[in-house]
Chains A and B, each alone.
Chain A
Amino acid sequence: MPLDSVALAAIWLTFKLASVTTLVLLLIGTPIAWWLARTTSRMKGPIGAVVALPLVLPPTVLGFYLLVAMGPNGFIGQFTQSIGLGTLPFTFAGLVVGSVFYSLPFVVQPLQNAFEAIGERPLEAAATLRAGPWDTFFSVVLPLARPGFITASILGFAHTVGEFGVVLMIGGNIPGQTRVVSVQIYDHVEAMEYAQAHWLAGGMLLFSFLVLLVLYGSRLKQGWRG
């Protein structure tokens, strides 16, 4: 059997992690992207750079700092302990936190681009038509930025699926809890189980290709229509 129960558990965990991470990212990435798109503050540059850091940092560096911060003496760890959650490393919640940082730019940047493309004008039109700021966000900004939200979700999800270094640093390798597909592949290779590694690696390859196909295909269509 090509995919045994261990492999299926890894796939399910990966799917769960990517879904939860994407959801969290949309919730916290939207206000960050909105702020970055509209602010004239001098903090725009530094904040934008911090958001983009995971693009260039080795995942082990990010994972290392997160491990320290979420550990018993780190500031995140002390906070989670004080509210009775214990420490996050080597738990699913810890993986989510790590993934959120790791995939942040892949969600924030498409959203920021979408918000910037909308510009000031529809917002002003809405304001002169009695729509308050929240009303305007939901009735004008969200629908106009829909392509940006789709791109952000796909990229955030796919990038989290492809995560390896951060998981290994803060999640370790606990079956059913933190052992995602990429880690599972690593395990198989270490154990010289190339056949199993092939099945999972091939699956990842296909998945990634399909995601990009959907993404670029829809962009092309939009390009033709406009």
Chain B
Amino acid sequence: MSGAASNSGIHARFRLDYADFSLDVDLQLPGRGVTALFGHSGSGKTTLLRCVAGLERSGLGQLTVNGERWQNNAQNLFVPPHRRSIGYVFQEANLFAHLSVSRNLEFGMRRVPAPQRRVALEQAVELLGIDHLLERMPDRLSGGERQRVGIARALLSSPRLLLMDEPLAALDLKRKSEILPYLERLHDELDIPVLYVSHSPDEVARLADHVVLLEQGRAIAQGELRETLARLDLPTAFSDDAGVVIEGEIASHDAHYHLTRLTFPGGEVLVSQRPEALGQRLRFRVHARDVSLALQRAEGSSITNLLPARVEAMVAADTPAHVLIRLDAGGTPLLARITRRSADQLAITPGQALWAQIKTVALLG
């Protein structure tokens, strides 16, 4: 089936009205990479994901995924979930309690004709590191293990689109960091487009290439990850958590001070020594609240990460005491959250050149 819409990418237009909630979106999403559906709870991100999967039948609209039409209510077209080539990772794994791990893994795989299988059992087992769990029953797994099995099970149905509904939300911090590397490998090694629902800015910053910001059932912004995170007009979604994501390359290690130097267009930062080899790329987040501004290059300061930058714009922040300033550090966007008083004292104006002092760099890896 080939739709009239473009052949690559995801076109999703949905309307859904409940008594206390409505969803109304019209999205054109890239057909590859990880797209984060980001928003607070109640913003409609899970509902949107369920509409894409066909699990939410009351959602009316159109859905085309890489040229395949899955839904068009105007033409009475609704492909039921089991005929959509999707993989769905549920918030709490949702494994079949009566089947062992290996039978769970085979469930979707066996229902896909052999020629259409693109992920081998061994590959998925290795990718998620669940080799030692195959004979166990789901109730003998930890939360993190269960979630890894759930992800492998979804991959084994060789989906053309992977849908992940806050796969880490039910896990504690330790389990999260146990799974994140597997998700990154997924991203790097398999060429399956992913819709990733999350309310965690860190997860989004670490995994996503593209982000859709949802609020009260509406998409208030979408775009490439770094661009979108650096936008000033979206304070409500990120509020206190405003910040940018920068991808840097490991340029050198300093064995004496145990530091690693990361370079990126427009500057470099020093971070605690990393195990990765030279040339490896790493994402890190710079929170707006961790960036302060100075007119001169500060001498005699303990802050090591200083970047020359140019003021692009300034808006009110989430409190009347603060402002958010968007900076251009040699091609890399930065956000700074400073007090209105400081902004007045520095006489911040667009185009002004100054120094951005970065107190903390949150590495995402």
Contact = CB atoms under 8 A, between A and B. Distances in A.
A128 B107 contact: no
A126 interface: yes
Given A127-B82, A128-B53, A131-B82, A122 B107 contact: no
A128 B96 CA distance: 13
B87 interface: yes
A212 B310 CA distance: 81
A144 B98 contact: yes
Contacts of A143: 98
A5 to B, nearest CB: 46
Contact of A122 (B82, B83, B86, B96): B96
Contacts of B98: 140, 143-144
Given A130-B82, A130-B112, A125 B55 contact: no
Interface in B202-228: none
Nearest to A144: B98
A191 interface: no
Contacts of B154: 128-129
B88 interface: yes
Nearest to B163: A128
Given A124-B55, A125-B90, A130-B82, A144 B97 contact: yes
A215 to B, nearest CB: 21
A124 B55 CA distance: 7
Contacts of B235: none
A33 to B, nearest CB: 19
B97 A128 contact: no
A129 B157 contact: yes
Contacts of A122: 94, 96-97
B108 A130 contact: yes
Interface in B145-170: 153-154, 157, 163
Nearest to B98: A143
Interface in A109-158: 121-122, 124-132, 135-136, 139-140, 143-144
Contacts of A121: 90, 94
Interface in B73-113: 80-83, 86-88, 90, 94-98, 107-108, 111-112
Contacts of B81: 124, 127-128
Interface in A17-33: none
A130 B157 contact: yes
B94 A127 contact: no
A185 to B, nearest CB: 42
Q: Which of A124, A130, A132, A139 has most B Cβ within 10 Å?
A: A130
A130 B88 contact: no
B122 to A, nearest CB: 19
A125 B94 contact: yes
A79 to B, nearest CB: 37
Interface string A173-197: 0000000000000000000000000
Contacts of B54: 127
A47 B167 CA distance: 40
Contacts of A125: 88, 90, 94-96
Contact of A127 (B55, B87, B97, B163): B55
Contacts of A144: 96-98
Contacts of B96: 122, 125-126, 140, 144
B71 to A, nearest CB: 15
A41 to B, nearest CB: 16
A171 B87 CA distance: 57
Contact of A129 (B55, B107, B163): B107
B55 to A, nearest CB: 5
Which of A125, A131, A140 has most B Cβ within 10 Å?
Answer: A125
B111 A131 contact: yes
Contacts of A135: 82, 111
Contact of B94 (A124, A130, A131, A136): A124
8 contacts: A128-B81, A128-B86, A128-B163, A129-B153, A130-B83, A130-B157, A132-B82, A136-B82
| The 6 A-B residue pairs with the shortest CB-CB distance in the complex, in nearest-first order | A129-B108, A128-B88, A130-B111, A127-B81, A143-B98, A125-B94
Given A129-B108, A130-B108, A131-B111, 7 more contacts: A121-B90, A122-B97, A126-B82, A128-B55, A131-B107, A136-B82, A144-B97
